[in-house]
Structure 1
């Protein structure tokens, strides 16, 4: 499946001049990136290039020293990006709810059932009544093929099933953008397809996504744009056909893709 060549909507996620360091190690070195409404943007690149750190900054799971991240025009982590005035936890919870994140390690609460994991944010953040939250959880778990697993604990589910619970938990919150961080990297190879099929369905429905992945063929098929990150910067940003062109001018990109046999 290749995504429709539809015109992008208005800018939804706007990242400008983003810098992030861990001690003396600068991980993000001035990242600029925009994702439009309804657009699927995939980030690829070697390990240590800053891909996951970038996603965690978008959801403000990591603070950042310089730059701006806006969702629908609203600054994510700070009331004032210039003065670096941090938001309250209540404000952060509200904004994080607009950026649903699915993690590579599932991050389910082990003592809660599949339905209860999905319900938690609906009750605590969206202020839904438990009965309504349960109905929504059942709907989304059914959508990801887990209608018969509502009352199972994570330990009773396969890795692929746990990751599908994670996706259901994120999309049930009706976020403006879905952030997917290497969601297949912890799975056995035979379970990867069942998770990517769920993502593919969300792509078809027009969900806005920012995706970090090593699944190069999947990235090529579902993305409106692919971003190649290297050494903390955006080294290339183009539609799949242009990014995968054999004569792309970025030598580092060509070498990276050659490892996957990902040339036209």
Structure 2
């Protein structure tokens, strides 16, 4: 609602790889339930920004908070100290990420891939985790593929397992990084249909995509990046 604090607040974010600056003073706020799509040319910093949000990449300066909690660091007196992996685990669990290349465990079935985080991170009893995982795989159209290994699934099916795995954890925020870029064009629509359904349910999402028609139809806001900076931010019709 208007006036509510943003779920995601990014301020003055800077990131370099060696001597190469990638993000320059990036600022972004995302309200609960918003779908924000980041567009821009290759090398503009889109993926790096997503990876900084859940500290898959450390950042050099600035602040990222999710629901009021600083993601990567905590203050000790006048010093900023990087959070330990133990501290980061529950924070990261509030952010589900779906990657370009699926990142499924090849020796685990679709069901086991979705269950893993529920059991290991959420500490859910295995019968409950199995039922929840099976339910999400059913929702993404894979109810008949529960026992299949990733090698037995198409690229589109693997990506839908990745989406089910992320959403099953009930994260506050979903990050989707070019989730159709590794797919055959004939498989893109089946994955985007799942994302469209999640958007209609009011889930908070930040996604990077080159699918402009999809971005226009599903997004509340479009953010355009160029050379590590946000150069436009507004409703799809204006951006």
Task: Please name the residue that 2:52 is paired with.
Answer: 57
SS of the aligned residue for 1:240 comes to coil
Query: Could you tell me how far 1:229 is from its partner in structure 2?
Result: 0.2
Over the residues paired in the alignment, what is the CA RMSD in angstroms? 1.3
- Of 85, 104, 120, 2:100 maps to 104
Task: Please name the residue that 1:123 is paired with.
Answer: 119
- Of 204, 210, 218, 1:208 maps to 204
* 1:25-61 deviation digits (Å, cap 9, x = unpaired): 0000110000000000000000000000000000100
Query: Could you tell me how far 1:9 is from its partner in structure 2?
Result: 5.5
SS of the aligned residue for 1:241 comes to coil
Is the contact made by 1:102 and 1:181 (CA closer than 8 Å) also made in structure 2? yes
* 1:136-174 deviation digits (Å, cap 9, x = unpaired): 100000010000111100000000000000000000000
Task: Please name the residue that 1:177 is paired with.
Answer: 173
Structure 2 matches for 1:65-80, cutoff 5 A? 65-80=60-75
SS of the aligned residue for 2:189 comes to helix
> Is there any run of 5+ residues in structure 2 with no aligned partner, and where?
none
Partner Cα distance (2:43, 2:194) in 1: 27
Partner Cα distance (2:174, 2:4) in 1: 16
Partner Cα distance (2:209, 2:171) in 1: 20
Q: Runs of 4+ in structure 1 displaced over 2 angstroms?
A: 6-10, 80-84
Partner Cα distance (2:112, 2:75) in 1: 36
Partner Cα distance (1:231, 1:8) in 2: 31
Work out the number of aligned pairs and report it. 238
SS of the aligned residue for 1:195 comes to helix
Structure 2 matches for 1:28-67, cutoff 5 A? 28-67=23-62
Q: What is the TM-score of this pair, normalised by structure 2?
A: 0.97
> Is 1:226 aligned to residue 194 of structure 2?
no
Q: What is the TM-score of this pair, normalised by structure 1?
A: 0.88
Task: Please name the residue that 1:238 is paired with.
Answer: 234
Query: Could you tell me how far 1:84 is from its partner in structure 2?
Result: 2.7
Partner Cα distance (1:128, 1:54) in 2: 31
Is the contact made by 1:178 and 1:208 (CA closer than 8 Å) also made in structure 2? yes
SS of the aligned residue for 1:68 comes to strand
Query: Could you tell me how far 1:91 is from its partner in structure 2?
Result: 1.5
> Is there any run of 5+ residues in structure 1 with no aligned partner, and where?
1-5, 244-264
